[in-house]
Amino acid sequence: MADAIFGSAERRRIKRVNLRNCMFYKGYDRYGLEKDLWQEFHFEEGLSRENAKDREAALLKQARVASGPKPQYEVLEP
């Protein structure tokens, strides 16, 4: 029961930290987005998996945003 409550959040936190470290190591910059825009394509898998088609669509949107023009926002710290 404790893993269902705390384990899922911890796994998501570790995934975010690993992604942030990997992006920094490879020389990528990170930018903050408005919450509404972020929620249009972002997802985090917790206790259940996303539907495969929904997950693929979200990943394609993320790739489009990541490969688009450089945002006019400040670069986030690593």
**Each residue of 1-56: pLDDT tens digit?**
666 666 777 888 888 888 888 888 898 888 888 888 878 777 766 556 667 888 78
pLDDT of residue 68: 87
CA geometry: angle 42, 54, 65, nearest 5 deg = 40
- Dump pLDDT digits (tens) for 63-72: 888 888 888 8
- Listed by start position, the domains of the chain span 2-66
pLDDT of residue 4: 66
Looking at the whole model, is its pTM more than 0.85? no
Residue 16 phi, psi (nearest 5)? -65, -40
